[in-house]
Amino acid sequence: MEQPEDIATSFRLPEPTAQQERVELVPSGTPIFDVKNVSIYYSSFKAVADVSLSIYQNEITAFIGSSGSGKTTVLRAFNRMNDLVAGARVEGEIYYRGEPLYGKDVSAIAVRRRIGMVFQKPNPFPKSIYDNVAYGPRVNGERNRGKLDEIVERSLRGAALWDEVKNRLKMSGLSLSGGQAQRLCIARTIAVEPDVVLMDEPASALDPIATGAIEDLMRELKSQYTIVIVTHNMQQATRVSDRTAFFSVLVNPESDTRTGTLVEYDRTAKLFEDPRDDRTKAYVTGRMG
Residues within the interface to other proteins (CB under 8 A) = 79, 81, 84, 86, 109-110, 112-113, 116-117, 119, 121, 123-128, 131, 135-136, 139-140, 172-175, 185, 188-189, 192
**CB nearer to other proteins: pick between 128 and 280:** 128
**CB nearer to other proteins: pick between 134 and 263:** 134
- Rounded to a whole number of angstroms, the minimum distance from the CB of residue 174 to other proteins is 6
- Rounded to a whole number of angstroms, the minimum distance from the CB of residue 120 to other proteins is 9
Q: What is the DSSP string of the chain?
A: ---HHHHHHH--SPPPP-HHHHHHHS--S-EEEEEEEEEEEETTEEEEEEEEEEEETT-EEEEEE-TTSSHHHHHHHHTTGGGGSTTEEEEEEEEETTEETT-TT--HHHHHHHEEEE-SS----SSBHHHHHHHHHHHTT---HHHHHHHHHHHHHHTT-HHHHTT-TTSBGGGS-HHHHHHHHHHHHHTT--SEEEEESTTTTS-HHHHHHHHHHHHHHTTTSEEEEE-S-HHHHHHH-SEEEEEEEEEETTTTEEEEEEEEEEEHHHHHHS-SSHHHHHHHTTS--
- Rounded to a whole number of angstroms, the minimum distance from the CB of residue 152 to other proteins is 14
- Rounded to a whole number of angstroms, the minimum distance from the CB of residue 134 to other proteins is 11
- Rounded to a whole number of angstroms, the minimum distance from the CB of residue 135 to other proteins is 6
**CB nearer to other proteins: pick between 84 and 209:** 84
**CB nearer to other proteins: pick between 109 and 209:** 109
**CB nearer to other proteins: pick between 191 and 262:** 191
